[in-house]
């Protein structure tokens, strides 16, 4: 693709959910470098305020608003869009990045835990998109952060994989619906990015201490890519109008395995995770 056809992010207004850390904070920095104004959203008000202060100090010409809210709440998405329009006047890019994790085999977690996870990972993505759509013009972009686990589904990640497969399916269908309006939809599938999502995961009610500690150790070994590197890949993909973005070798391997062995990929990826970490997860 020629440079002339690349998306120009300078002067746009980007909404980024889950912006107080990890990939979200790195995306905020990367988009500020591009000249985008920012509406940053997170449930962690203290961390969000710190990120916003740092960005304002480094990028004084970028307009940044902070929105501390819990997107799992029914009216949060509409409030977010209303506040963003009040502060910036328009929205040109929506990045649905907010996400949480739940540790344990499916029989070890409660439906209350599952509802919580789905309310953040899937419903909030759909709700923020729904609230934003009436205000998006031709050329706007929606970027939904799915996961490697939205392509393959390892043991111990039933609810999380269900939510991320949901984000992937939502993105695929929405992309075609919005094509006539000239609004693009991108799904992003990060592999082993070193964020706090595993460390901050909710522990299933029946998961014992030893299995929980082992799971944390496994993911600590597997999550190695810096969020800033992931953010650069995502921004480059947005500028190149990519419909799907894979991040990290794990994502490419998982995508390949899902294509050649759609039924056996879960077992294969589990074996690869065990080999790379040197640890065997609980069964």
Residues annotated as catalytic are: 160
Phi, psi of 131 (to 5 degrees): -70, -30
Residue 97's contacts (CB-CB under 8 Å, 6 or more residues apart) are: 16, 17, 18, 19, 23, 24, 27, 145
CA–CA separation, 183 and 177 (whole Å):
9
Whether residue 24 contacts residue 190, with contact meaning beta carbons closer than 8 Å, is answered with no
| End-to-end CA gap in the chain | 46
SS3 235: helix
Distances (CA, A) of 198 to 46, 99, 209, 234, 262: 20, 11, 15, 21, 26
According to DSSP, the β-strands at 102-103 and 202-203 are parallel
Query: Could you write out the DSSP letters of every residue in 43-62?
Result: S-HHHHHHHHHHHHHH-TTS
């Amino acid at each position: 693709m020629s440079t002339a056809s690349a998306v120009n992010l300078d002067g746009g207004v980007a909404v980024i959910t889950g912006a107080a850390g990890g990939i979200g904070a790195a995306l905020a920095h990367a988009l500020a470098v591009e000249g985008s104004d920012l509406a940053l959203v997170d449930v962690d008000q203290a961390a969000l305020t710190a990120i916003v202060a740092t960005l304002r100090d480094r990028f004084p010409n970028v307009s940044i608003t902070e929105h501390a809210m819990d997107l799992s709440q029914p009216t949060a998405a509409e409030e977010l869009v209303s506040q963003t329009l009040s502060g910036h006047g328009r929205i040109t890019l929506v990045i649905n990045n907010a996400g949480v994790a739940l540790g344990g085999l499916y029989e070890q977690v409660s439906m209350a835990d599952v509802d919580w996870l789905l309310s953040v990972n899937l419903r909030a993505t759909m709700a923020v998109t729904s609230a934003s759509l009436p205000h998006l013009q031709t050329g706007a972009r929606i970027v939904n952060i799915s996961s490697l686990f939205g392509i393959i589904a390892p043991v111990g990640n039933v609810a999380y994989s269900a939510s991320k497969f949901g984000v992937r399916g939502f993105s695929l269908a929405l992309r075609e619906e919005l094509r006539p309006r000239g609004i693009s939809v991108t799904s992003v599938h990060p592999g082993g990015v070193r964020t706090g999502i595993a460390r901050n995961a909710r522990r299933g009610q029946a998961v014992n201490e030893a299995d929980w500690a082992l799971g944390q150790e496994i993911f600590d070994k597997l999550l190695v890519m810096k969020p800033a590197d992931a953010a650069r890949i995502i921004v480059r993909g947005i500028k190149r109008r990519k419909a799907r973005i894979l991040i990290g070798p794990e994502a490419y391997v998982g995508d390949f395995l899902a294509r050649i062995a759609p039924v056996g990929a879960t077992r294969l990826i589990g074996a690869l995770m065990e080999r790379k970490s040197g640890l065997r997860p609980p069964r």
